[in-house]
Structure 1
Amino acid sequence: MQKTSIIAASFFLAFTTLSAQNTINGKVTDATGQSIPFALVKIYSSENKTTVISEKITDENGAFNTQVPNNGSYNVLTSASGYSDSSKSFAFNTVSTSIGISIEREKVSGIKEVVLVANKKKTFERKIDRFVFNTENSIASKGVDGLDVLAATPMVKADDEGNIEIVGKSAVSIMINDRPVNLSGKDLVSYLKTIRSENIERIEVITTPPAKYEAQGNSGIINIVLKQNSSMGFSGNISTSFQRKSRNGYSNNGSLNYQSKKINTSLRVSQFDNEKKSDENLSIYSGNILKTENTRLDKNKGYNINYSIDYKINDKTSVGAIYNFSDTNGNNDSRNFSRYYQGNVLDSTVVSNTYNANKIKNNQLNVYFERKLDSLGKKLYVGGNLFDSRNTNPFSLASESDVNSINYQLNSKYKYKIYSGQVDFYLPFKSFVGEVGGKYTRFNTDTGLDFFVTNTGVPVYDSNRSNSFLYHEDNWASYVALSKAFNEKWEGKAGLRYEYTMVNGVAGNGAEVDNKYGKWFPSLYLTYKPNNKNIFTVSYSKRITRPDARSLNPTTIYLDPYAYATGNPYLKPSFSNNFELGYVFNSKLSVTGYYQFSKDNFGQIVELQGANRAIKYLNNYDENSIGINATYSNTFLKRWDLYASVNYAYVESKGLINQVEGLSSNSLYYSINNTIHLNSNKTFSFLLNFWNFLPHTKGNFKFENVYNLSSGLRMSLFEKKLQVNMTIQDIFKGMKFRGKAYYTDYYTYSNNYYDARTFNLSVTYQFGNSKVKGNNKQIKLEEADRAN
């Protein structure tokens, strides 16, 4: 009853009426009536046509909402990439006015004109609540995959190991077109590699997400925005790429899109097969010393099929479905040397050979209904989702030591099923814009581990080291958000989200978890714009990071004869509060000060149990961080695009358990991105990028210096239908994971390298009507990113 009352109260708040203003609600369309998202609308006084009274960007439905100080006549200038500018006069003589603006496509007759249109959009933009990287104008726009685009995005770090984060922060959520994707870790990497850069319009880095978004992820959201349809007919592309790390790899991709007045549909198919070498070295110093050296060959291959269809019943109503299937196979062969020392004297050596296979099949289905409620842009969204993942993971180990030999085999199976349903309303009114919604998610996990001892050559089942885990999680969520432009200088937005969670888990060994909790997640934004060159912003949001299924699973996974990892079903979620104060000058310089404190952060710790090392998951530290981020972008000599960024932070952590020692440090990260166009048409470009993360701490881990120098060339041929990209990453092998983890009685030292030095050659050919981008709606399912 309490949950019902809270959710009902949240819905009621969305319809609260604020004081009336001279408000303009409008919509921008093309000649056929199609909405034009992200168009620029400027309102000028009819007496002084050089002074901008208001400036707005239309939303994804072409709608905008703004205010004028008085009744009277005003000039409205509208512009959008690929369209002719429109200038019209409107008379506003009531409290609220609704207007419709129609603009026509720009007529171009040659490549030079096309280039001029494309250059209207800046490569980097700083908006009120997010940083925007427009990939179309970057060397990352053709011939690479989605993970490569993220790695080239300022303020973002991404690698093949599934580590994706905003610099100075962590635990971000990945979204596509405002809809979270359904994977994490290596599975997320595999999925991002199926997205082609040709289909990406921009990357949005949202450090303090509004209440509309899921509260999961303590540091923010990275939103990948795909291109939208704008023309009728067929289009498609095919691409192939060659990748050289220490081993060769390749990928092939193709897409076919079709749009008519009623149907918008896309089919995408991708396939990849690559190998890389990984070196992992760990030393534990605790009176005695343990040193391990692990050399691993990782082989990954798979394919992905994505089909989506959107049917427009009429001008106000549409229905659709999205289906995604992926089949990936990863296996690795590794050789491990473990040396044990009594003091500084070698005591024994263990040599192990392992084989690990990982086969994952994912099925995702989303069906949805969208209804436009009026001409101002009010709309209803209803969606249902199903996510099913099956993972089989056989593992075998054969080891020899100075004393004896140990041989065993593991058969692991993981099954994840997630069901969800969601309702969202977008509600622009006379004096404010409201957003309200609710969602229910059911998260089911069924995992099992069968352990066999094979010392005699015949597998013998070991019931003591075998286990299973059944886990269920129910999550109810509702949110309300209100935004209002008080005048031409001040604009505010406030939101409140409530999430109630029930979890229950039972392991075969008797371990059980049963927990219920409900939390509020507020967010607040305030913007002051004294003139066109200066913008001041203040923002706040509260976030949660829930443990994923693997870290909750109490089943013991053996890494070698003397090392094992065990999940913890009693892990608590961690919470963070994020504050930001920002300033933007002339859309080129952006400075943001931030403060974040987080509680009950969880992660892996290493414990020594005799000669064994046990890896466990625990809530082990609280952390405070304060910092400042500055970014600058500009174009010099019409051909040199420069983007520079620097981030300074002071981080202080406090250990929550006896084993973990709290640390504090100053950290500095900086990056310089250069794109130099070698001809006037900008069809031949040179890239030179460098970033450096100086020594810093996270929890009880102190990282050493890490850096990356990358370079590349891009060629656009045959009226930009053929793209050839060549890039080199980590030229000086600076992307090494090195550092110490400090515990009360001991410390560990890691020195790992994951084959980051890479040469990539890709060729992409676009055919058909290049303005048809395909149906890019994505599955609206959040909890599945915790399934792996």
Structure 2
Amino acid sequence: MKRSSFLGVALLSMTTISAQNILNGKVTDTKGQSVPFALVKIYSSNSKTDVIVEKVTDENGVFSTSVLNNGNYNLFTSASGYANSSKDFILNNTSQNISIAIEKEKISGIKEVVLVVNKKKTFERKIDRFVFNTENSIASKGVDGLDVLAATPMVKADDEGNIEIIGKSAVSIMINDRPVNLSGKDLVSYLKTIRSENIERIEVITTPPAKYESQGNSGIINIVLKQNSSMGFSGNISTSYLRRSRNGYSNNGSLNYQSKKINTSLRVSQFDNEKTTNENLSIYAGNILKTENTRLDKSKGYNINYSIDYKINDKTSVGAIYNFSDTDTDSDSQNFSRYYHGNALDSMVVSNTYNQSRVKNNQLNIYFERKLDSLGKKLYLGGNLFDSQNDNPFSLASQSDVNSINYQINSKYRYKIYSGQFDLYLPFKSFVGEIGGKYTHFNTDTGLDFFINNADGPVYDNNRSNFFDYKEDNWASYVTLSKSFTEKLEGKAGLRYEYTVLSGIARNSSQVDNNYGKWFPSLYLTYKPNKKNILTLSYSKRITRPGARALNPTTIYLDPYAYVTGNPYLKPSFSNNFELGYIFNNKLSVTAYYQTSKDNFGQIVDLEGANRAVKYLNNYNENSLGINATYSNTFFKIWDFYTSVNYAYVESKGLIDQVQGLSSNSLYYSVNNTFHLNSKKTVSFLLNFWNFLPHTKGNFEFENVQNLSSGLRLSLFEKKLQVNMTIQDILKGMKFRGNAYYTNYQTYSDNYYDARTFNISITYQFGNNKVKGNNKQIKLEEVDRAN
């Protein structure tokens, strides 16, 4: 990466012992600090392809080797984060010193930041991922982690917990290579506890390596937090005001401490938000049903995260992370259902519902890390525990021309996950290996009690009450190998195996038992013919397992004539992902991709007389072929410009009689602009726009979606105080609209989730700003399936 320092002097003193020349050396930077684990290769000057000697410096930057003969040689030196360097020298029987100055690596990024000296480039492409270095983005100053994701190229994120990579169907979130154990609202709450000032970069991994869990048919977003290299205390406090159609507030605080032995952090967040939601659904099946639902959503809660890392010695550390969250979500809604014969209104049902959900999550991780030798080999051992409880009372009262209905449902969900794992990082002279294994036990216990309210009070309905108990055990192991074949060509390959055993049973005798084992390979190649051109090739296989609610056969009523039920016989879906990438002159990046997926599952609407049954089924296969292009530049020293375009051809085939296959062309593009309004760059203006033209997914045909956003950032008091103001969805174009096609009928949806938002946030940093705190996170990605 581009930095101000250079790798300075390699001091080589030589003596002759038993007809051999013993070569000793030490690699340091320009400040005299040792550079550990630097690779040193010695070639004959006549042949720079055959390595005579290859060594790696120890933790103090020292190496020692023997060379048989005097003569002309070439010394090649490289280290992580530094550019490669080589120098010719003459070896003889007298001691001599050889000085080698190596500049820190200039990353082949996508966007060059020329305004600020010694700043990283904003975008870069690595062998298996796209990297967004957030330091130079207006959208990553004085905001939270969710806002940073929303500003990341190729990523869409909102307050509903909908986070995705463009062109992919789902996503897993990680922090410092450790999956976050939350999803939906809980994930949003947690991301809001992370301050943008503590985020170093966002990595978008569209074809994940074998090291990562094979779960998820899309990719991974890895949030890399800044490391803590300074001693003392630091912290920040922030407050935000959010205005949709209603007001919202959030407050966050963190306190970090670093000493020679201890690195610890405490983060606390609190939020209280309200918004309105409008959902409209029309069903055309000979006769017509139109529903209009207006809902007021209220959510409030808090989150506490504490982590501590203790350094036993220079090679060994242990630690623990604990996270607790408590979230209340209340929804009041009014539903109008109108039934038509032809164009004539036949009847109408008016329903009022109240839905309350309180979720408490506890998660604990303990770990042990040890460096095994001077080459950098490392061992990681970890144990994880996750426990989530959700109490979800629901009541409904409706009236129609014929009758009235009044009932209440008490639902309880309990998720428990236990896991243990080990990871070995094994760098050798000619390649780097990684091996690991993991065991996970997943258990969900859900119950639903159904009561009918009458004049004498609530009456228990045994027929519509239910429970579901589900258990799943997963064993996994992996191996990866990476190697630089030449200065121009490097590769990485991996293989993962997972074996799953599952069982589930419900009160209504629905039962499922299954087991399966699968291999998941991955492959990456990078070729750099010169400084201006980079070619990449990648492949990975993935699995998407259904979540607990999708498997739960318990019936959940939405209104008197609509209900949702899970399917315990759902099969996992599998996908194969291929990518071919090209980067030119650090500004233009083009990626072509092809993806196949089989047995995709999701919700479909089935008509059962006057009732609407929403069911989970494996309902389509899909092939997609596309190309993504990005371009970035800086103009007039004040205007940072970034644009992205994604075109795809998608073809789906229905697997059941109800679902029709569709094919379509789709186009997504975004334009991002940041204008620095003064020379010190303490005042910046943001103007962004993205547009997703009509496209299909499965049997659903989406209409046009767009978002115009703008913002202003102020940095005051030597950048200790940050003030951010942003406006999202200025044109009110983020509407979910489109048709779903079935064999005997079709549906049309027109939904809006109160996306037009004004947000102002104020963040104050105190203490030693270089102290970033302990940023290790829990590795337990199975929690994503618990919601």
Choose 551-560 or 165-174, whichever is displaced more.
165-174
Q: Does 1:216 align with 2:229?
A: no
> How do residues 395-410 of structure 1 correspond to structure 2 at under 5 angstroms?
395-410=394-409
What SS does structure 2 have at the residue aligned with 1:228? coil
Change (3 A) 1:477 1:86: closer
Change (3 A) 1:350 1:235: same
Rounded to whole Å, the distance in 2 between the matches of 1:607 and 1:62 is: 68
CA contact (8 A) 1:28 1:100 kept: no
Aligned AA (1:270)? S
Which residue does 2:717 correspond to in 1? 718
Which residue does 2:270 correspond to in 1? 271
Which residue does 2:629 correspond to in 1? 630
Change (3 A) 1:751 1:272: same
> How do residues 613-652 of structure 1 correspond to structure 2 at under 5 angstroms?
613-652=612-651
What SS does structure 2 have at the residue aligned with 1:189? helix
> How do residues 477-492 of structure 1 correspond to structure 2 at under 5 angstroms?
477-492=476-491
Which residue does 1:500 correspond to in 2? 499
Rounded to whole Å, the distance in 2 between the matches of 1:43 and 1:559 is: 68
> How do residues 578-593 of structure 1 correspond to structure 2 at under 5 angstroms?
578-593=577-592
Deviation at 1:438, TM superposition (A): 0.2
CA contact (8 A) 1:42 1:78 kept: no
Rounded to whole Å, the distance in 2 between the matches of 1:343 and 1:100 is: 88
Deviation at 1:455, TM superposition (A): 3.1
Which residue does 2:74 correspond to in 1? 72
Change (3 A) 1:42 1:404: farther
Change (3 A) 1:545 1:147: same
Q: Does 1:303 align with 2:297?
A: no
Rounded to whole Å, the distance in 1 between the matches of 2:405 and 2:99 is: 76
Which residue does 1:666 correspond to in 2? 665
Which residue does 1:291 correspond to in 2? 290
Deviation at 1:457, TM superposition (A): 5.7
Change (3 A) 1:27 1:433: farther
Change (3 A) 1:72 1:33: closer
Cα deviations across residues 399-455 of structure 1 (Å, max 9, x unaligned)?
A: 111111100000000000000000000001111110000000000100000000013
Deviation at 1:116, TM superposition (A): 7.4
Change (3 A) 1:685 1:35: farther
Deviation at 1:72, TM superposition (A): 1.7
Choose 690-699 or 629-638, whichever is displaced more.
629-638
Change (3 A) 1:344 1:491: same
Which residue does 1:7 correspond to in 2? none
Q: Does 1:243 align with 2:245?
A: no
Deviation at 1:365, TM superposition (A): 0.3
Which residue does 1:381 correspond to in 2? 380
CA contact (8 A) 1:583 1:590 kept: yes
Rounded to whole Å, the distance in 1 between the matches of 2:761 and 2:635 is: 28
Change (3 A) 1:702 1:118: farther
CA contact (8 A) 2:42 2:74 kept: no
Aligned AA (1:267)? L
Deviation at 1:701, TM superposition (A): 0.1
Deviation at 1:162, TM superposition (A): 2.1
Rounded to whole Å, the distance in 2 between the matches of 1:622 and 1:261 is: 55
Cα deviations across residues 585-641 of structure 1 (Å, max 9, x unaligned)?
A: 122110000000000000000001111000000000000000000001111111111
Deviation at 1:533, TM superposition (A): 1.2
What SS does structure 1 have at the residue aligned with 2:442? strand
What SS does structure 2 have at the residue aligned with 1:454? strand
Cα deviations across residues 179-208 of structure 1 (Å, max 9, x unaligned)?
A: 111122222222222222222211111001
Which residue does 2:340 correspond to in 1? 341
Which residue does 1:471 correspond to in 2? 470
Aligned AA (2:293)? N
What SS does structure 2 have at the residue aligned with 1:190? helix
CA contact (8 A) 1:740 1:750 kept: yes
Aligned AA (2:566)? G
Change (3 A) 1:28 1:698: farther
CA contact (8 A) 2:502 2:515 kept: yes
CA contact (8 A) 1:46 1:74 kept: no
Q: What is the aligned length?
A: 730
Deviation at 1:160, TM superposition (A): 2.1
CA contact (8 A) 2:43 2:73 kept: no
What SS does structure 1 have at the residue aligned with 2:373? coil
Which residue does 1:749 correspond to in 2? 748
Rounded to whole Å, the distance in 2 between the matches of 1:92 and 1:751 is: 76
Rounded to whole Å, the distance in 1 between the matches of 2:706 and 2:511 is: 44
CA contact (8 A) 2:178 2:779 kept: yes
CA contact (8 A) 1:500 1:517 kept: yes
Rounded to whole Å, the distance in 1 between the matches of 2:734 and 2:207 is: 28
Aligned AA (1:520)? W
CA contact (8 A) 2:548 2:785 kept: yes
Rounded to whole Å, the distance in 2 between the matches of 1:154 and 1:511 is: 44
Which residue does 1:169 correspond to in 2? 168
Which residue does 1:702 correspond to in 2? 701
Which residue does 1:50 correspond to in 2? none
Aligned AA (1:122)? K
Change (3 A) 1:33 1:746: farther
Aligned AA (1:521)? F
> How do residues 764-779 of structure 1 correspond to structure 2 at under 5 angstroms?
764-779=763-778
CA contact (8 A) 2:76 2:85 kept: no
CA contact (8 A) 1:26 1:376 kept: no
Rounded to whole Å, the distance in 2 between the matches of 1:34 and 1:467 is: 65
Structure 1: gaps (5+ residues): 1-24, 48-52, 64-69, 94-98, 106-113
> How do residues 408-427 of structure 1 correspond to structure 2 at under 5 angstroms?
408-427=407-426
Change (3 A) 1:31 1:356: farther
Seq. identity, %: 81
Which residue does 1:543 correspond to in 2? 542
Cα deviations across residues 626-666 of structure 1 (Å, max 9, x unaligned)?
A: 00000011111111111100000000000000000000000
Deviation at 1:127, TM superposition (A): 2.0
CA contact (8 A) 1:237 1:254 kept: yes
CA contact (8 A) 1:311 1:319 kept: yes
Aligned AA (2:74)? G
CA contact (8 A) 1:118 1:137 kept: no
CA contact (8 A) 1:262 1:312 kept: yes
Aligned AA (1:545)? T
Aligned AA (1:368)? Y
Aligned AA (1:284)? I
> How do residues 557-576 of structure 1 correspond to structure 2 at under 5 angstroms?
557-576=556-575
What SS does structure 2 have at the residue aligned with 1:353? strand
Cα deviations across residues 63-100 of structure 1 (Å, max 9, x unaligned)?
A: 9xxxxxx95234769878xxxx999979799xxxxx99
Cα deviations across residues 345-387 of structure 1 (Å, max 9, x unaligned)?
A: 1111010111100100000100000000111211000000000
Rounded to whole Å, the distance in 2 between the matches of 1:242 and 1:596 is: 41
Rounded to whole Å, the distance in 2 between the matches of 1:33 and 1:369 is: 28
Change (3 A) 1:88 1:666: closer
CA contact (8 A) 1:351 1:401 kept: yes
Structure 2: gaps (5+ residues): 1-24, 46-50, 62-71, 92-97, 105-112
**Structure 1 stretches (4+) deviating beyond 6 angstroms?**
25-37, 41-47, 75-80, 85-93, 99-105, 114-118
CA contact (8 A) 1:29 1:62 kept: no
Rounded to whole Å, the distance in 2 between the matches of 1:743 and 1:687 is: 43
Change (3 A) 1:26 1:321: farther
What SS does structure 2 have at the residue aligned with 1:415? strand
Rounded to whole Å, the distance in 1 between the matches of 2:34 and 2:739 is: 57
Change (3 A) 1:71 1:318: farther
Which residue does 1:518 correspond to in 2? 517
Deviation at 1:29, TM superposition (A): 8.9
Aligned AA (1:728)? I
Aligned AA (1:72)? N
Change (3 A) 1:202 1:495: same
- Bigger Rg, which one: 2
CA contact (8 A) 1:670 1:692 kept: yes
Deviation at 1:101, TM superposition (A): 11
Deviation at 1:171, TM superposition (A): 1.5
What SS does structure 2 have at the residue aligned with 1:784? helix
Choose 218-227 or 181-190, whichever is displaced more.
181-190
